[in-house]
Amino acid sequence: MDFLQHLELGFVTALSLRNVLYCFLGCFLGTAIGVLPGLGPVPTIAMLLPLTYALSPVTALIMLAGIFYGAQYGGSTTSILVNLPGESSSVVTCIDGYQMARRGRAGAALTIAAVGSFFAGTFSTAIVAGFAPTLAEVAFKFGPAEYFSLMVVGLLGAVTLAHGSQLKAIAMIVLGVLLGLVGTDVNSGAERFALGVPELGDGINFVVVAMGLFAFGEIIHNLETTAEAREVFTENVKLGLLTRQEARESAPAVLRGTLLGSLLGILPGGGAVLASFAAYALEKRVAKHPERFGTGAIAGVAGPESANNAAAQTSFIPMLCLGLPGNATMALMAGAMTIHSIQPGPQVMTSNPELFWGLVCSMWVGNVMLLVLNLPLIGIWVKFLTIPYRLLFPAILLFCAIGTYSLANSTVDVLLTIPFGVLGYVFAKLECEPAPLLLGFVLGPMLEENLTRAMLLSRGRVSIFFTRPLSLGLLVIAAGLMGLMLLPVVRNKRAEVFVEG
Amino acid sequence: MRVTVKSSKDFFAGVVFVAFGALFALGSLSYRMGTAARMGPGYFPLVLGCLLSALGLAILVRGLAFSARSGPIERFRLKPMLFVLVPIAAFTLLLRPAGLVLSVAVLVLGSSRGSHDFRLRESIVNTAALLLLTVAIFVWGLGMQIPLWPGFVGR
C-alpha cells in the first residue's frame, strides 16, 4: 500500500461517526480537565482511562489521544488567564500570555495559541504520517541486542533532555525498572517481589504508579502550599482578532515553533515540555526587541504554544514505530495500548493498519475539533477556572480512586496507590522527577526480555552489543549523550533553557 | 572530625536509593541466579539492585561533598499527606462492605478537611453532586458492578 492509500484508510477510520464522536468527547473532556490548574496530561489521561475500557482499541486510542491534546490545550488557556500553568508544558506561556491578558489582550493571546497549535498540529501530523513507515521498516531489522541498546539510548536520552539532576534521574529509571519487574517473570514463571500478595503476581499496574506518583503527589503538594491571591481574568474573555502588528510578529514564531517542536518531540525525553522551553528561548534569541519578552510579547506565546503541540504530536512516532515511549505521557499511552492487548511496536502498522492510520488521521481531526471547540466554548472553560481548589481536589481524588478500582475491580490496586502517593511526595521534596521512574517502569520488562534473549544468542558474551553495527551505533549515541552532559558548556546551556523565563 | 550534610536533598535522595537498591538486591538472592547466557529470574534484579545502590551512594556522597548544590529539604508535613491518603484508604476498604454512597461521602468529606478553608455546607453539597456524577458515569454509564448501599439495607 502506498502513502495515499494509507491516508485514505486512516481517514475512513477516523471519520466514522463513532470515532469522530469519541474524538470529540476526548477533546472536550481533556480540555475541561486540562483547564483546571495543577492537573497535567498524565493524571488527566490516567483518570479518564477507565472510560475507554469498553471501547474497541481504535476508538479507545483515538479518544485517549483526544484527551491528551485537549489537556495540553486546556493548560495554555489556564496559563494565559491565571498566572498559573495548567501543566508543565505551558509554564512559559504564563510569562507573556498572562502579561498580555493584563494589558487587555487575553483574546489575542488565546487566538494565537489556538491558531498556532492548529498549524503545528497539522504540520506534525503530516510528519508522523510520512516518517513513521520508514522508521518502522528500520525497526524490523532489529534483534534483541539492538532493541536493548535502543532502550538504553531512549532512557539515557530522556535523562539528558529532562531537567534536574541526571544522576538522580538515572537512579529513578533504575528504580522504575525494578518496580516493573514485580510480578511473574515471563521467562521462568517465578513470582518476584510479590511479598506474598496474590494480586501482585500480575505485577503493578502502570495506572497505579501514575496515579500515586503524579496525581496524589501533586495534590498533597498543592494542599501544603497556601493558596496565594491570584488575579483571574474571567470577565468578557472572547477570542479576539490580532492586530496587524501582532499577526506580523507571531506568524514567523509559529513557523519556528512548529519546526523546533516537531524535531524535539521525536527525541527520547523530548516532548511538549522541552519543546515549549526551547521555543521560548529561541524566540527571545531571534527577537528584535528581546527586552519586550516578559511584558507581553506575542511571539513568546505563539512560539512555545506551537512547539508544544507539534512535539505532543511527533512524540507518538517513537512510541508507535518502536514501542519506545519517550516521555511519561507516551508511557501512559503505551500502557493503554497493552490494556487493549496491543503491543506497541513496528508490527502495529502491519498487523493493525486501520488502528495505526486511524490514530494518525484522528490527530488531525482532533486538532480541527480543538479549534472549533475552543472558539465558542472559551466562556465555559473560563467558568471552570473559577471553581475553587477546595471543591476540586476531592473530586480528583474520587475519580482517581474509582478509576483505579475499575481497572480490575480490585481494591488492592487502589490501596497500592497509597505507598506510591507517599513516594511521590517524598520524591518531590527530594527534587527527584517522577517521569523517568514511570518510563523505566513501562520499559522494564521489555528491557529484561531483550537482554536475556541477546545474552542467550551470544552464549553469555556481552560483546554482542558491541559487535553488531546497529547496536554499537546506538550505544555510541548513548555514550555521546552522557559525554555531552559532562561538558560545562552544554550543562550551562541546558540549565539556561529551563531557567529562562 | 565532623561530617556535615551540606546538601540534605541529595544526601537523603541517596539514602532512599541505596535503601531501595539494597532491598531489591537482597530480595533477588532468593531467586535462581542462572548464568549470563541463561539468566535466571534473580539475575537482572540483582544487577539492577546493585546499580541502584551504587548510584544512590554517588548521590549521597555528592550531597556530602558539594555545598549548596540542591539546598536543604523543605519541611515534611504529615497533615496534607494524611488528608489525602487516609480518605483514599477508607474509601477503598469501605467500598464493598458499605457501598458506594457511604464510601464516596467518607472520601469527599474526609479529604475536604485538608483544605485551608474548609466549609462544611459547601462540602456536603459537593459530596452530593459528586455522588450523582459517579453513579451516573460509572454505575449507569459504564455498568460497574458495585453495591450502592451497605448489604443490610435494601435487601
Rounded Cα distance, A235 and A222, in Å: 26
Give, in order, the Cα–Cα distances in Å from A398 to each of A207, A389, A433, B85, B145: 15, 14, 25, 11, 17
CB contact under 8 A, B91 and A219: no
Residue recorded with cell 508511557: A331
* Average pLDDT, consecutive stretches of 10 residues, N- to C-terminus, chain A (501 residues): 80 91 93 79 84 88 91 82 67 82 85 90 90 84 88 81 78 95 85 84 87 85 66 62 84 93 81 81 84 85 90 89 84 86 86 89 90 80 81 89 86 93 91 87 88 90 88 88 71 59 38
Residue recorded with cell 467518607: B106
Rounded Cα distance, A17 and A12, in Å: 10
Residues of B in contact with A177 (CB under 8 A): 48
A47 CA: distance to closest CA in chain B (Å)? 13
Q: Which residue of B has its CA nearest to A432?
A: B13
CB contact under 8 A, B37 and A192: no
Q: A259, A244, A249, A240: which is closest to A297 by C-alpha?
A: A249
B150 with B99: CB under 8 angstroms?
yes
Residues of B in contact with A192 (CB under 8 A): 27-28, 31, 41, 45
pLDDT digits (tens, 9 = 90+) for B39-83: 889 999 999 999 999 999 999 988 887 655 556 777 788 888 899
CB contact under 8 A, B9 and A448: no
> Amino acid identity, residue A325?
P
Task: Indicate the pTM of the whole model.
Answer: 0.84
Rounded Cα distance, A25 and A331, in Å: 22
CB contact under 8 A, B52 and A174: yes
Give, in order, the Cα–Cα distances in Å from A147 to each of A42, A116, B102: 26, 36, 50
Rounded Cα distance, A428 and A93, in Å: 23
> Crossing angle, helix A41-48 and helix A328-339, to 10 degrees?
10
- Show the CA angle centred on residue A29, arms to residues A26 and A32, nearest 5°: 145
Rounded Cα distance, B128 and A17, in Å: 35
Q: A449, A425, A495, A61: which is closest to A224 by C-alpha?
A: A425
Residue recorded with cell 541463561: B38
Rounded Cα distance, A338 and A473, in Å: 30
Alpha helices in A103-143 (DSSP H): 106-140
B148 with B135: CB under 8 angstroms?
yes
CB contact under 8 A, A192 and B117: no
CB contact under 8 A, A462 and B36: yes
Q: Which residue of A has its CA nearest to B137?
A: A51
Neighbours of A85 (CB within 10 A): 23
In the three-class reduction of DSSP (H, G, I as helix; E, B as strand; rest coil), residue A151 is classed as helix
Residues of chain B with pLDDT under 50: 1-2, 155
Q: A217, A162, A204: which is closest to A442 by C-alpha?
A: A204
Determine whether A411 is exposed, middle or buried from the number of CB atoms within 10 Å of its CB (0-12, 13-18, 19+). middle
Residues of A in contact with B39 (CB under 8 A): 187, 451-452, 455
B154 CA: distance to closest CA in chain A (Å)? 23
> Crossing angle, helix A144-161 and helix A166-180, to 10 degrees?
140
Give the number of A-B residue pairs with CB atoms closer than 8 Å. 186
CB contact under 8 A, B56 and A429: no
pLDDT score for A225: 73
Contacts of A13 (CB under 8 A, 6+ apart): A19, A58, A354, A355, A357, A358, A361, A362
> Would you give the DSSP letter of residue A399?
H
Neighbours of A82 (CB within 10 A): 22
The H-or-E segment that residue A58 falls in is helix A57-81
In the three-class reduction of DSSP (H, G, I as helix; E, B as strand; rest coil), residue A116 is classed as helix
